Structure 1
Amino acid sequence: MRFVLAIVAFVVAAVMIVAGIAQRTVFAPPSQIAATTTVKGDPRFIVIDGAVLNAHPGQQTLSVSGGDAKSQVVAYGRTADVKAWLGSEKYVSLGLDKTTGDITMKTVTTKTTDGESTSTATPAPTSTPAAPADPATTTPAEGATTGDAAATPNPNPAGSDMWLEEFDGEDAQVTRMNVPDSISVIVAGDGTKAAPNQIRVTWPVDSSTPFAFPLIIGGLVLLVVGIGLYLWGLYAIRKSRGPRRKGGPKMPKLPKAPKYKPSKAVEATPKGRRSIRRSMVAVPITLVGALALSGCSIGSVQSSSVPIRTASPITTELPKAKDQLPPAVTVPQLERIVKRISATATTADAKADPAIAKQRFTGPALQLREANYAIRAKKADEPALPAIPASPIVLSLPQATDTWPRTVTAVVETPKDANGAAQAPLALTLVQETPRDNYLVTYAVSLEPKAKVPNLAPASIGSAVVPPDSKLLKLPPKELAAAYGDVLMNGDASTSAALFSPEGDTLRTQVGAEWKAQQKAELQQKFGATSSLDFTSAVGAGPDIAMATNDSGAIVWVNLEETQTLRVVEAGAEVDAGPTSAALSGVASSKTGIASTYGYQLAFYVPPAGSSSKITLLGFAQGLVSAKEVQ
């Protein structure tokens, strides 16, 4: 019996080992699914719809080829934003036929007569399995692309703030992403060359074989058991023979007994419980082998059909509500935008070049920087404006919108100064006028030390922009600059003084009514009646920007200008312009007078109408923006 059990063990072990090895070799499932297509016609733009990218579950790997590897660009963003950026440009759209699962191609063009968009569908090759690739994860970069088939330069998507992620050059050949259906990918060249036209999308497949290793190990264990049973059987047979003695006299043979002849009524084959027990001995072993093989087969089918979703570190943070507008930017997108702004500002400040500053600044923020560059060109000891930190962003408030212009606010932590002292965070207000424009810094203010920012909507939802003439606030945004200017001129005597909180308002301490009175008194004491000093304020040219807070109030940014006019009163007298005004105006002294204009970028918290709270100054930036001789 031991030999029978050993043979069964050998057979079952061999089957298990062969089955385990076959799962890892012959019957191993593919590691990925791939869909490929070739776009004809040398298009300048190719847009891959999110339905194609999500045709199968798992992280998508996009491979492009067929174009100039050095100039190609691959970027992705919300489908609506991608189409808005393309505008009237001609492009090829890759979609998915839900019935057949094939990739479809559609050339999208725009009529020049009435501006209506038309498209032409073109059949595309079907999705076919491909051999596993070995893609490498790429890193963000900036590239260039174009729009129609002509050789003239077209819009360039490289470096656009519109994209959630961007790759260019050799990094764009193979990219990994994990995006929802609402995201599309744009593939392009450099504006003069066609986009890469060979597109390949792959998805991972669960190729694990969880039963292979247990089968192989179980087969080896059973093989050892079989060997043990075989050796045990040999040992038992040898022991049953007993010891044999040699030598000595032989015993006489006994007489033979007559042979017993059974009658026909006696059956030769034994029956009963013993017979049944003997015939059933091999059944458990056979059953064990059958169960092992059955379990192996089922496990193999399950493991090859269950896909694994790979999480991606890139998140689009899109709102889930159907009737909710998306935020203008995501947090990773805003971080990349601020880094680009910081790099441009650093270069512009180092070279004192207003042309470079215009690439990322506009409005009051640009005006202040241009004036600072002009002053530094003639006054070497004039300090530069505070640098724009690249990170970290401690607060982000994008506008919830799907139209333009778009507004975003970011508060960036400022590093310590050269002496190790902490500096106030910098609040940036960014505006994107059109889909093809980058975000420009309109306001850049340092927050007040005691400023308390009210509760704001999370960055994944965004905030609404409040109209400048809104009556839902304690003071309409368009009236805020003039009201605060009157407070700086007249202090507590101002008709608007009761609306503003004086606590923590360091600007009022620096240039308020008391400071102005002190400046006039010092001038009178020093020069008598030979000259006069007057102050006037006016609303600046900067836009009034207001974004709603959770308590129905708003954070409001306004621009205020205050002019300090030093006039000659007595004939023959002369006034000194001062080194800063002289550097900007080119006039060191004047026999008529000098008018110096200071620009104030102001950020306020304005409570809702009917609230007992007062308007609070959250931060400001101020500096000389113009100076001229009074005629």
Structure 2
Amino acid sequence: MRFVLAIVAFVLAAVMIVLGIAQRTVFLEPASTSLSTTVTDDVRFAVIESSALTALPGSQTLTITGADTVFAAYGRSGDIKAWLADEPYADIRQVRNTARLSSKLTEVPPADETSTDVPAVAPEEKQSADPVGSDLWLQEFNGKGSLTTTVNVPDGIAVIVASDGTKPAPTEITLTWPIDNSTPMAGPLIAGGGVLAIIGLILYLWALIHLRRSHGPRRNLPRGPRMPRLPRVPRPKSIKASEITGPRRSITRKLIASVPVLLVTGLVLSGCSADFWPSSPATSDAATSATAAATDVPQAVKDVPPPAVTVPQLERIVRRIAVLSTDADAKLNGDALAARFTGPALEQRLANYKIRAAIADFPALPALPASPLTLTLPQQSSTWPRVVMTVIQNADDAAVAPTAIVLRQETPRSAYLIEYAVQLEAAAKVPDVAPATIGAPIIAPDSKLLLLPPGEVAAAYADILLQGDKSPSFALFEVKGDTFRTQVGLDKKNEKRAALPTTASIDFAAAVGAGSAVALATNDSGSIVAVSITETETVKPVDAGATVSPEGASKALSGVSATAKGIQSTYGDQLLFHVPAAGSSEKILLLGYAQGLISSTELP
């Protein structure tokens, strides 16, 4: 019976091990599935729609071939369509209710037939069709001859494919998704088979031992008639049983020696991969990586426009601008600077370049830090222009005041340009704002929902700089912590007037600057408002034959050493305020500022 049980155990062990191995070999399902399509139309761009990317669950591996240079980038579907504008492109999407991809030439319809799904785009001049480096992309990839990359994007995200924007787009596009081909029963079957093999071996040894014992001494038989004694013959030399059968333990040793082999084999086969064993979905690596990859992508919120940028997207943009501005500051290259600066920020920096070219030791403006972004507030917008505000801390020197910048993108193919760049006040507390994944709505310049409409903030503050506490707007603005007012306010202007020789006079004026008023909503129903002011100082001689001699920066910009007509110097002020909601007991608070001489000219 013991032999029968041992045989049964060996048979079951063999079946379980073979079945477990078969699950990982002959019965193993593919690890991925793919869908492919060919771009037959001679177009420069192809768009892989969201329906194609999410045709199957899991991360998407893109394989693109068919061009010397291959470019791909993913972004919001509406942003990609806006960037393409009137460019024809190959539309790649999933065929409804089938596991196939289609490629169809799509051309923008006439204006009265344009789909409302595509964001409105302001009229723009024909711009470069090279998609590389666009600020709209959440991530971009490049390759030579072919490109293979894995992304994990949710619904609403599309991929734009191109060569260099002038040559036809790559023709072969394949999407691959991973398939869960784990065999959670393979490990238990192989391990269980190994255990049964050991049990069978033990039963077999037990049966052998029992069989040996059953061949021992037997009881004596009844005596028969006594036979006559035969002659005694020489007694042969006794032979030990071990000399006939060998050592009794040899069989046992051989059998026992096979046990480690079975154990090692079972462990190697059953323990080499987590795919062999049951696992909880909560600990799946695929699920974890999918979640991590999706965090960079803006999620749609019902009835709320998406944020203009994501934090990683803005980090890349700021890094590019920081590198460009650092190089431009060192080389005094105004043309390069104009590629990323505009408005008051550009005007002040260009003037600084001109002054430094004439005065070698004149201080440069504070360098733009590249990181980290301590606050990011993008506008909620699907249209253009778009606005983003962010605060950047100097990673090299924590004592340096953080820099707040306001960026503007005029059209889908335009780059984000810095319109305002200010240093925050030491005592300024930036109000709470919405998370960057949600963004903030833009506040209209004439909004009556604030203590003062954004479009009137610059004029009101300019009047305070001229009249001090005599200004009708004085009570609206917080005095405490406003260091800019102490530097250029009425008291400082009176000091300049008193220090001027009696042979000359000085007049001060202030007006709203050329920069647009940018206002983004805060959580307290107020707004962060960026504005610009221009202040002018006009110095004239009052006696006949007297002259005025500008010095320093004023002399560098005007190119005049002495004049009998007079000099007018213009300063550009960039200002950042927190304007509370209408009816609030709080006052308008200056958060940061930047000032510099932007022009100096001889009076006509």
TM bin, normalised by shorter chain, reads 0.7 to 0.9
| Per-residue deviation, 1:240 | 1.7
| Per-residue deviation, 1:244 | 5.9
Q: Distance in 2 between matches of 1:630 and 1:39?
A: 65
Q: Distance in 1 between matches of 2:211 and 2:488?
A: 113
SS at match of 1:190: coil
Written as runs of structure 1 = structure 2, the 5 A alignment for 1:254-403 is: 308-309=286-287, 310-311=289-290, 312-403=292-383
Q: Distance in 1 between matches of 2:567 and 2:576?
A: 29
Aligned match of 1:477: 454
Q: Deviations over 1:308-362 (max 9, x none)?
A: 5442435245345321111111111111111111111112111111111111000
- 1:98 corresponds, among 96, 99, 122, to 96
Aligned match of 1:590: 563
Written as runs of structure 1 = structure 2, the 5 A alignment for 1:144-159 is: 155-159=129-133
| Per-residue deviation, 1:192 | 2.4
Written as runs of structure 1 = structure 2, the 5 A alignment for 1:114-263 is: 116=113, 155-170=129-144, 173-243=147-217, 251-252=223-224
Q: Distance in 2 between matches of 1:74 and 1:400?
A: 26
Query: Which residue identity does 1:28 align to in structure 2?
Result: L
Query: Which residue identity does 1:29 align to in structure 2?
Result: E
- Is the Cα–Cα contact under 8 Å of residues 41 and 90 in structure 2 kept in the other structure? no
- Is the Cα–Cα contact under 8 Å of residues 596 and 626 in structure 1 kept in the other structure? yes
SS at match of 2:67: coil
- Is the Cα–Cα contact under 8 Å of residues 153 and 293 in structure 2 kept in the other structure? no
Q: Deviations over 1:265-318 (max 9, x none)?
A: xxxxxxxxxxxxxxxxxxxxxxxxxxxxxxx9xxx99989x9954424352453
SS at match of 1:169: strand
| Per-residue deviation, 1:236 | 0.9
Aligned match of 2:26: 26
Q: Distance in 2 between matches of 1:186 and 1:598?
A: 45
| Per-residue deviation, 1:191 | 2.4
Q: Deviations over 1:492-537 (max 9, x none)?
A: 12121111111110110111111111111111xxx22x11111111
Q: Distance in 1 between matches of 2:360 and 2:225?
A: 137
Q: Distance in 1 between matches of 2:93 and 2:137?
A: 20
SS at match of 1:483: helix
Q: In the comparison of the two structures, how many residue pairs are matched?
A: 542
The change in CA–CA distance for 1:453 and 1:171 in structure 2 (over 3 A counts) is farther
- Is the Cα–Cα contact under 8 Å of residues 206 and 303 in structure 1 kept in the other structure? no
- 1:614 corresponds, among 583, 587, 594, to 587
Question: Within the alignment, does 1:543 sit opposite 2:516 as a pair?
Answer: yes
Any unmatched runs of 5+ in structure 1? Answer: 119-151, 255-295
Written as runs of structure 1 = structure 2, the 5 A alignment for 1:11-22 is: 11-22=11-22
SS at match of 2:5: helix
Aligned match of 2:482: 505
| Per-residue deviation, 1:85 | 0.8
Query: Which residue identity does 1:574 align to in structure 2?
Result: T
Q: Distance in 2 between matches of 1:171 and 1:335?
A: 30
SS at match of 1:490: helix
Query: Which residue identity does 1:508 align to in structure 2?
Result: R
Aligned match of 1:40: 40
The change in CA–CA distance for 1:457 and 1:35 in structure 2 (over 3 A counts) is same
Aligned match of 1:134: none
- 1:77 corresponds, among 75, 78, 81, to 75
- Is the Cα–Cα contact under 8 Å of residues 59 and 177 in structure 1 kept in the other structure? yes
The change in CA–CA distance for 1:578 and 1:10 in structure 2 (over 3 A counts) is same
Q: Distance in 2 between matches of 1:476 and 1:164?
A: 34
- 1:444 corresponds, among 414, 421, 432, to 421
- 1:495 corresponds, among 472, 475, 478, to 472
| Per-residue deviation, 1:448 | 0.4
Written as runs of structure 1 = structure 2, the 5 A alignment for 1:428-443 is: 428-443=405-420
| Per-residue deviation, 1:11 | 0.6
The change in CA–CA distance for 1:460 and 1:620 in structure 2 (over 3 A counts) is same
The change in CA–CA distance for 1:171 and 1:552 in structure 2 (over 3 A counts) is farther
Q: Distance in 2 between matches of 1:475 and 1:154?
A: 41
| Per-residue deviation, 1:226 | 1.4
Aligned match of 1:558: 531
The change in CA–CA distance for 1:556 and 1:153 in structure 2 (over 3 A counts) is closer
Aligned match of 2:108: 110
| Per-residue deviation, 1:610 | 1.5
Query: Which residue identity does 1:313 align to in structure 2?
Result: A
Q: Distance in 2 between matches of 1:98 and 1:301?
A: 36
Query: Which residue identity does 1:103 align to in structure 2?
Result: L
Q: Distance in 2 between matches of 1:365 and 1:447?
A: 15
Q: Distance in 1 between matches of 2:300 and 2:313?
A: 19
The change in CA–CA distance for 1:447 and 1:154 in structure 2 (over 3 A counts) is closer
Query: Which residue identity does 1:22 align to in structure 2?
Result: A
SS at match of 1:487: helix
Q: Distance in 1 between matches of 2:133 and 2:441?
A: 27
| Per-residue deviation, 1:63 | 0.9
- Is the Cα–Cα contact under 8 Å of residues 74 and 172 in structure 1 kept in the other structure? no
| Per-residue deviation, 1:115 | 7.0
Q: Distance in 1 between matches of 2:222 and 2:455?
A: 135
The change in CA–CA distance for 1:320 and 1:88 in structure 2 (over 3 A counts) is closer
* Identity fraction in percent: 54
Aligned match of 2:434: 457
| Per-residue deviation, 1:578 | 1.0
Query: Which residue identity does 1:578 align to in structure 2?
Result: E
Indicate the larger mover: 311-320 or 598-607: 311-320
The change in CA–CA distance for 1:154 and 1:615 in structure 2 (over 3 A counts) is closer
The change in CA–CA distance for 1:172 and 1:178 in structure 2 (over 3 A counts) is farther
With the length of structure 1 as denominator, give the TM-score of the two structures.
Answer: 0.82
Aligned match of 2:263: none
Q: Deviations over 1:430-464 (max 9, x none)?
A: 11111111111000010001111112111111111
Q: Distance in 2 between matches of 1:320 and 1:369?
A: 38
Aligned match of 2:506: 533
**Could you say what the CA RMSD is over the residues aligned between the two structures, in angstroms?**
2.6
The change in CA–CA distance for 1:114 and 1:472 in structure 2 (over 3 A counts) is closer
SS at match of 1:495: coil
Indicate the larger mover: 346-355 or 316-325: 316-325
Q: Distance in 1 between matches of 2:334 and 2:563?
A: 28
| Per-residue deviation, 1:33 | 0.9
SS at match of 2:107: strand
- 2:546 corresponds, among 548, 570, 573, to 573
SS at match of 1:556: strand
Q: Distance in 2 between matches of 1:253 and 1:336?
A: 116
| Per-residue deviation, 1:253 | 7.9
Query: Which residue identity does 1:159 align to in structure 2?
Result: G
Any unmatched runs of 5+ in structure 2? Answer: 116-125, 227-269
